[in-house]
Amino acid sequence: MQTQIPASYRMTWRDWVRESPEQGLCELIGGELHVSPAPTPEHQRLVGRLHAALFSFLEVSGRGEVFQAPTGLRLTLEDVVEPDLFVVTTGGRARVTAAAVVGVPALIVEVLSPGTARRDLVWKRELYLRAGVPEYWIVDPAARQVTMLTRTRAKWKSARAVDVLFSGALAGFEFPLKALFR
């Protein structure tokens, strides 16, 4: 878990809105600002393929919207993240505002990068669990695998996608892994 920083040094949602740069990925986790380097082309290919599949599914079904980084997602006043992808479902616990999406999305997807893997695998994993995110996918380009975490009470249930990605939060969504890692 991340080290707690004194309250006088922690940033809040208002600071993030006011001070985060237009370019680059800036996130607040526990009030601490994290800035990430630009993603690699391969990272963006994977995000693009998943975005296209989720967008098509949601567009046809009319069940919600998919957002892509650097769209802000405010989970608490001191936790504002910019996941690679996240899904807001119609009638769900998140709402779209002019500045960011506020609340808990149905699904969050992070594609691992060397510069952000620890944050995605440890800090964000814990944050998403505490926030009540029902489903979190971790895409590992190096291992060519996807770990699908499903929230059960106060812990994650983990499963690896074998041939097809599917979602409990988005019943009927399926995406072949060979189409993701081509």
Give the tokens for residue 152: 């059960």
Domain ranges of the chain: 7-180
Q: How many CB atoms lie under 10 A from the CB of residue 89?
A: 18
Measure CA 68 to chain center.
9
> Please, what sign has the CA dihedral across residues 68, 44, 120, 24?
negative
Tens digit of each residue's pLDDT (9 = 90 or more) over 76-99: 999 999 999 999 999 999 999 999
Task: Give which of 135, 124, 129 is closest to 166, Cα–Cα.
Answer: 135
Strands across the sheet with 73-76, in order? 32-36, 25-29, 79-81, 73-76, 101-104, 93-96
For residue 21, name the pLDDT band (cuts at 50, 70, 90): low
pTM: 0.89
**Residue reference for tokens 């769900």:** 92
What local confidence, expressed as pLDDT, does residue 12 receive? 82
Q: Provide CATH code, domain 7-180.
A: 3.90.1570.10
